[in-house]
Amino acid sequence: MSALKNIIIGAGISGAVVARKIAEELNETVLVIDRKDHIAGNIYDYKDSKTGITIHKYGPHIFHTNLEEVWKFLSKFTEWHYFFLKPNVMIEGKAVTLPFNLTTLYEVFSYPMAKDLEIKLVNKYGYGVKVPILDLRNNDDDNLNFLAGYVYEHVFKNYTTKQWGLKPEEIDASVTARVPVYISHDNRYFQDKYQGIPLNGYTKMVEKILDHPNIKVRLNTDYKDVKGDFDRIIYTGAIDEFFNYKFGELPYRSLYFDVRTENKEYFQKAVVTNYPNEYDFTRITEHKYFLDEKSEKTVISIEYPQAFENGKNERYYPISNPENQALYEKYREEANNTKNLYFLGRLGDYKYYNMDLAVERALKFFEEEIK
Ligand code: FAD
Ligand code: UDP
């Protein structure tokens, strides 16, 4: 075993993937630390002791990707439960198909009206096309403008205001474009080639990634309390925190999850139901659907968005806008000036990565900057 010593801060998916590559391909030792009492970061799941249901502690996680390399890499560490996310959105008290698509048209409008809108949409944009809501609002057809206004009001405006504290047009357009109006009868949330949930859960998958003789994991350990010299420092926590906020704090959104056990077999029809216009929460997740688990009871998480407050709650979403990006770049420049110090991951890169992009970034980082 080489004496070269690496420390990776964060046992989330980003840190785990890099640790594995260094341990396996360079045969170097890696210490992975996390201040939480568990591995897997935000993709952590656990079995609820009362119902046996697998709970996604930090919100609903569905793996989906078109990146074959990423799918193949993770498939070395898990089998998959094949799963397509088909969420609902509550519109005027009725749970209907999300993303808003041609099926949804027929669920919310009368048949002739839905038919008319379907023909107009297909003629204007083409079947199978995804149109971000902010683009749909910019068209010159009265009927399509009515539709755009309807979807904006019933799906996007208040959900986005709750989630981000900002209106759709005040946040980076790529955020609402994640859930475009989909001119299709395909009711899946994602159309990626590879989709699923790790058959034995995300935590088990990360555990296997970290299971290598060159890797040591230390939990309940904050980087600021770690002593010792390391040849490489790879940090997947928040970059502003690492530098003691010397240029100011990078803003984030946070969440509070109200987890409840309900004394009935099923609570709702879909794994996730969004509530744009009712209540203060954004969505309810019913966990037993992920792995099709059976129980007489069911566990749900009600998700309340919050501002991130340092020391009080967790950083979940970087807030992408030019001002925050400029602040992030200052930290990145500072990092570039320090030898053998690297940042990556959703917090280290300050990017709204899905799991697959976090893995892709970790794999590329290893190839391009470490190997
Ligand atoms: P993290 O998982 O945040 O890991 C960073 C780790 O570093 C944490 O465990 C933290 O405790 C640790 N750490 C930080 N600072 C320190 C320190 N100073 N000392 C020690 N440890 C430290 N992606 C999808 O692909 N599909 C989905 O359906 C999906 N749903 C999501 C739903 C929600 C609510 C959220 C918030 C995210 C979702 N994601 C989803 C994104 C996914 O969670 C991320 O892509 C992924 O978790 C990023 O992993 P990471 O390792 O970069 O970061
Ligand atoms: N969004 C919305 N209404 C919905 C679903 C999504 O307004 O019913 C917007 C909202 O701004 C949200 C963004 O689209 O933050 C991205 O949604 P996604 O489901 O990808 O969010 P995540 O799962 O990452 O929280």
Check residue 228 and give its pLDDT: 87
Check residue 194 and give its pLDDT: 99
Task: Give which of 130, 94, 141 is closest to 149, Cα–Cα.
Answer: 141
Q: Which ligand is nearest to the CA of 303?
A: 1
Check residue 212 and give its pLDDT: 98
The string over 330-347, giving b where at least 16 C-beta atoms fall within 10 Å of a residue's C-beta and e elsewhere, is bbeeebeeeeeebbbbbb
Q: For residues 267 and 61, what is the distance between their CA atoms, to the nearest angstrom?
A: 19
C-alpha 22 to ligand 1 mean position (Å): 20
Is the Cα dihedral 43, 348, 234, 66 positive or negative? positive
- Asked if residue 55 has its Cβ within 6 Å of ligand 2, the reply is no
C-alpha 198 to ligand 2 mean position (Å): 23
- Asked if residue 316 has its Cβ within 6 Å of ligand 1, the reply is yes
- Mapped onto helix, strand or coil, the DSSP state of residue 304 is strand
C-alpha 160 to ligand 2 mean position (Å): 7
Q: For residues 229 and 6, what is the distance between their CA atoms, to the nearest angstrom?
A: 9
What is the DSSP pairing of strand 5-9 with strand 29-33?
parallel
DSSP per-residue codes, 244-299:
TTTT-PPPEEEEEEEEEEESSS-SSSSSEEE-SSSSS--EEEEGGGTTT---SSEE
Per-residue pLDDT of the chain (371 residues; tens, 9 = 90+): 456 699 999 999 999 999 999 999 999 999 999 999 999 999 999 999 999 999 999 999 999 999 999 999 999 999 999 999 999 999 999 999 999 999 999 999 999 999 999 999 999 999 999 999 999 999 999 999 999 999 999 999 999 999 999 999 999 999 999 999 999 999 999 999 999 999 999 999 999 999 999 999 999 999 999 998 999 999 999 999 999 999 999 999 999 999 999 999 999 999 999 999 999 999 999 999 999 999 999 999 999 999 999 999 999 999 999 999 999 999 999 999 999 999 999 999 999 999 999 999 999 999 999 99
DSSP label at residue 261: E
Q: Closest residue (by CA) to atom 13 of ligand 2?
A: 176
Q: Are 91 and 219 in contact (CB under 8 A)?
A: no
Which residues are registered as beta bridge partners of 80? Answer: 198
Q: For residues 32 and 68, what is the distance between their CA atoms, to the nearest angstrom?
A: 27
Question: Quick one: fold of 5-82+194-251+318-370?
Answer: Rossmann fold (3.40.50)
Structural domain boundaries of the chain?
A: 5-82+194-251+318-370, 88-183, 253-307
Where do we find the tokens 């690297």? 342
Check residue 159 and give its pLDDT: 98
C-alpha 216 to ligand 2 mean position (Å): 37
What amino acid occupies position 292? D
